[in-house]
Structure 1
Amino acid sequence: MAKKSINILIFSGIWSFIIGILTALYLNLINYVIDFIWGYFNHHSNFSLRPAYPFLICIPFGIIIGFLVKKLGSYPLTIEEVLHDVRKSGKLDYHSWWKSFTLGLLSLGAGGSIGPEASTTVLTSGMINWLGDKIRLMTTHYKSWVHVWQIGIDKDTLLQSPKFSELFRTKNQKKWFITFNILIGLIGTILIFKLFPEEGAFGIHERPIHWSWTILWYSLIPLIGGMLFAYFFLYLEKIFTRVETWALPALLKATLWGIVLSILTLVTDYALFSGEFHIVPFSKTALSYSPLFLLLIALIKTISTHVGFAMGWRGGKIFPAIFASVAVGAAIAQFIPIQPAITVSLAVVASITIILEKPLLTAILLIFLLPISLAPLIFITAYIVMVIHKFLLKKIGLKSLIY
C-alpha cells in the first residue's frame, strides 16, 4: 500500500510539472503569435500600411473565427462558465480542450480586446481534471506503469472508480496532496518563463511614493470614480450579452466585429488586444493625454471587449477592465493634487474589486501591476470597497452583479 501511494505521488508530481510547463508554453505561444502577426504594427509607428493593417488582419480572422464558432460552438469558455461546470458536475469536460485552444488563440492573435485568462483557465483546468481521473484509475484498476502513462482514459472503468475526494483518509491529507502538486506545477511554469522570458506587465514595480495627509481627503474621488466605472463596465456587459442572442449567423457576427474593430483602431490602437502588455507603459504616459480622450479610451476598450465577446471573439475580460480602469484613474489624476500613481491605483483597485467581487484575489493580482510600495493601501482599499459594494447590493436586494 505504501509503495502504491509513493507511485501515485511520483506520478502526480511528474504530470503536475508537465501541466505547469504546458500552461507556460501556451502563454508564450500566445505572445509569439501576436508578435508574429502584429509585431511590425506595434513597433513601427511610421509603418506606411499602418491605418489599413487592422483591416487586413481583423476581417479575414473574423471570417475564420465565425466559421469555427458555427462549426464548434462558443469557445473558449469563460472562467465563470468553468466554475459553473465544476460546481454543477464536480468536474470539467476536458475532451473539448482543443476547441478552446483553437478559438482562444485565434481571437487573441487577431487582436481581439480579450485576455488569455479564459482559454488558459480552460486548458489548465482540463489538464488538472484529466490528472485527477488518472489518479482515480491508478488507485483501483491499474497495476502496471505502462497503463499509468497512457493518455487515454476509459470512461466505463472511470465510472467504477471512487471519487477523487474519497481517495484520502482525511481532509488534511487531501490538502497536502493538492498543495504539493500545485507547487510542482508552479515550478514547471516558472522554469519555462525563465528559459523563454517574455516581457510582460507582471513583476515588482518600484516607484517612489510621496505620502501626505491630503491623500486621506482626496482618496474618495478616485475610489468613487473607480466604483462608478466598475458599475458601468458590468452594466454594459449585461447589455451586450443580448447581442449573443441576436438571430444572426455566427459567421456574419464575427466578420462584422472584425470590420468594427478595424474602424475603432482609427480612433485609438488601444481598441486592440487585452492591454496586458500595455498597462505599465500606458500608466507612464497616460497623463500626456487629455482627460476626455482618456475617458474615450476607457469607453472604447469596454465596448471593444464586451461587444467583441458577444460577437464570437471570446476570451477573458480582466485585463481589458484593468487597462480601462487605468485610463479612468489617469483622467481623475489630472484634477486632484495628490500623486498620480496613488490616484490611478485607488481607482483601479476600486474598479477591479467590484468587477471580480473577490478582494483578496484583486489585491494579489494588482500588487504585481501597481507599485509594490502601495501594497498595504491596495489590500485595505480592496476590502473597504467590498464592504461598501455589499452594502449597496443589499440595499437594492441583489447578491451579486456578476452575470
Structure 2
Amino acid sequence: MKKLNIFYYATIWSFIIGICCATYLNLINFIINFVWHVLFDKLPVPSQALPFFICIPFGFIIGILIKRLGSYPLTIEEVLMSVKQEGKINYHNWWKSLTLGLISLAAGGSIGPEASTTVLGSGMVNWLGDRLRLIAYSSDWKWNHFWDTIVSKKQLKKLPKFSSLFKSKLHQKVFCLIMVMIGVVGAAIVFKLFPEEGLFGIHHRHILWQWRYSMYVIIPLIVGWSFGMFFLWSEKWSDYFAEKITISPIIKATIWGIVLALLTLITSYALYSGEFQIVPFVHQALQISPLFLLVIAVIKTLSTNIGFSLGWRGGKIFPSIFASVAVGAAIAQFLPIMPVMCVAITVSASIAVILGKPLLTAILLILLLPIELAPVILVSAHLAACLTKVSYSFRQKNN
C-alpha cells in the first residue's frame, strides 16, 4: 500500500512540475512583452531610445542582485557538474535563479530561458526525489502531508539514496521515464491552454536535391565549424576579461546595459535570445546584405558572451543558433545550393562545435528545421565534431 501511495504522490507532483516549467516559460514571454510593449509603450520617446530607458536601469538592478545573491541563474553545465559531483543540486536557491533569470530576460538580454528553466526543473525533480525518500522511510507519513514542501536536511542525511527505493536500475529508469512523460503531459496542457508562438515541431519543406552541386556543401560546413570556434573563443575571452576587471558587479552589469542599448542602434537583433525571431529572420535574411548579416552574427555573439560575463546570465543555445543562421544566410547568397540547405549545414556544424554533442545538436535542429533535412543535419553535426577532434589533436601535437 505504501509503494502505491508513493507512486500516486510522484505522479501528481510530476504533473505539477511539468505545469510549473511550462508556466515559467509562458511567464517569461508575458513579462518581456509587458516590459517592452506595455509598461514603456506610452513613453514620449523614439523607439530607438527605448532600450536606453530599459536596459540601463535593469542593468543596475541586475548588478545589485548579483552583489547580494551571487551569480545566478546557474548554467546547464553548472547544473550537470553539480549532479555529477554531488549527485544532486542545491534546490534551496531556486528563487535566486528565478529572480535573476526573469529580470535578465525581461531587460532584453541576449540570452535564452533554457538555463533558468533547467535549474528550476531539475531542482523540483531533485526535491521530489528527496520527498519520496522521506515518505518511503517515514513511519508516520499521511496524505495530509501532501502539500508539505519542507525537506529536513538532517533527516535526509540519515536516509538511503534514491536508488535504494528500487529493486534494480531498470525499475528506477522505468519509474523515472514514466514520471518524465507525466511531466511532459502537464507541460503540454499548459501550452495548449495558453499557446505561445514557438519553433519546435515537425516542419516540412520540399527540398530540391541537386547532386551536381554537392561539392559546394563543404563550404558551409567549414564556415559553420569556424563560426562555432569563434563563438567559443568569444566565450573564453569574455570570461577572462570580465574576471580581470576588478570593479563592482553593479558597475559591470550597468555598463553592459549601456553597451547593449548602444548596440541596438546598429541592429535590434542584439536583444533577446532570438528564439522567436529566427523564423521571421530567415524569411527576410536573403534580402539583407551578406556583410550586414555577418555584422549581426558577430554582434549577437558578443552580446551573448560579454553580457553573460558581466552578469546578464542565461542560456546561450538560442542566441548561438540565431547567430549561426545569420552566417548561413550570408554564405547562401554566394552558393548555387538551396539557401535552406546551406543554413542547415552551417547551423549544424556551428552548434555541434559549441555544444560539443553532435547527437544532441541533431535532435535539437531536426525540431527546428525541415524534417527532410534530417540526414544533412546529422552528417554535418558529426563531421563538425570530427573536425574539432582533429583540430584539437593537431594543436596538442604542436604544443
TM range (shorter): over 0.9
Counterpart residue number, 1:119: 116
Whether 1:94 aligns to 2:88 is no
Residue 42 of structure 1: how far off its partner (Å): 12
8 Å CA contact 2:111, 2:315 repeated in 1? yes
8 Å CA contact 2:112, 2:319 repeated in 1? yes
8 Å CA contact 1:201, 1:278 repeated in 2? no
CA distance in 2, matches of 1:310, 1:177: 39
| Counterpart AA for 1:72 | L
8 Å CA contact 1:41, 1:50 repeated in 2? no
| Counterpart AA for 1:78 | T
Aligned pairs (5 A) from 1:99-248: 99-141=96-138, 142-245=140-243, 246-248=245-247
CA distance in 2, matches of 1:206, 1:274: 24
The DSSP-based 3-state class of the residue aligned with 1:199 is coil
Stretch of structure 1 that moved more, 85-94 or 199-208? 199-208
CA distance in 2, matches of 1:334, 1:385: 22
Counterpart residue number, 2:49: 52
Residue 243 of structure 1: how far off its partner (Å): 3.3
Counterpart residue number, 1:401: none
The DSSP-based 3-state class of the residue aligned with 1:112 is coil
The DSSP-based 3-state class of the residue aligned with 1:219 is helix
Aligned pairs (5 A) from 1:321-340: 321-340=320-339
Structure 1: which 5+ runs fail to align?
399-403
Residue 390 of structure 1: how far off its partner (Å): 2.0
| Counterpart AA for 2:256 | W
The DSSP-based 3-state class of the residue aligned with 1:52 is helix
Counterpart residue number, 1:362: 361
Question: C-alpha offsets along residues 146-172 of structure 1, whole Å, 9 cap, x if unaligned?
Answer: 234311011111111110112211111
| Counterpart AA for 2:366 | I
RMSD over aligned Cα atoms: 1.8
Residue 48 of structure 1: how far off its partner (Å): 5.8
| Counterpart AA for 1:96 | N
Structure 2: which 5+ runs fail to align?
none
CA distance in 2, matches of 1:215, 1:15: 54
CA distance in 1, matches of 2:396, 2:82: 26
CA distance in 2, matches of 1:195, 1:43: 27
Counterpart residue number, 1:23: 21
The DSSP-based 3-state class of the residue aligned with 1:51 is helix
CA distance in 2, matches of 1:279, 1:338: 21
Question: C-alpha offsets along residues 99-124 of structure 1, whole Å, 9 cap, x if unaligned?
Answer: 00000000000000000000000000
| Counterpart AA for 2:55 | C
Whether 1:75 aligns to 2:75 is no
Number of corresponding residues: 394
CA distance in 2, matches of 1:160, 1:145: 23
Out of 31, 43, 46, the position equivalent to 1:33 is 31
CA shift in 2, pair 1:116/1:153, >3 Å? same
| Counterpart AA for 1:281 | P
Residue 336 of structure 1: how far off its partner (Å): 0.7
8 Å CA contact 1:58, 1:258 repeated in 2? yes
8 Å CA contact 1:41, 1:53 repeated in 2? no
Question: C-alpha offsets along residues 162-188 of structure 1, whole Å, 9 cap, x if unaligned?
Answer: 101122111110110000000000000
Residue 203 of structure 1: how far off its partner (Å): 2.5
| Counterpart AA for 1:155 | K
Counterpart residue number, 1:380: 379
| Counterpart AA for 2:68 | K
Residue 396 of structure 1: how far off its partner (Å): 2.3
| Counterpart AA for 2:263 | L
| Counterpart AA for 2:370 | P
Identity of aligned residues (%): 57
| Counterpart AA for 2:152 | D
Residue 394 of structure 1: how far off its partner (Å): 2.5
Counterpart residue number, 1:353: 352
CA distance in 2, matches of 1:193, 1:274: 20
8 Å CA contact 1:333, 1:343 repeated in 2? yes
CA shift in 2, pair 1:154/1:41, >3 Å? closer
8 Å CA contact 1:298, 1:324 repeated in 2? yes
Q: TM-score, normalized by length of structure 1?
A: 0.95
The DSSP-based 3-state class of the residue aligned with 2:72 is coil
CA distance in 1, matches of 2:30, 2:375: 35
CA distance in 2, matches of 1:114, 1:214: 40
Counterpart residue number, 1:294: 293
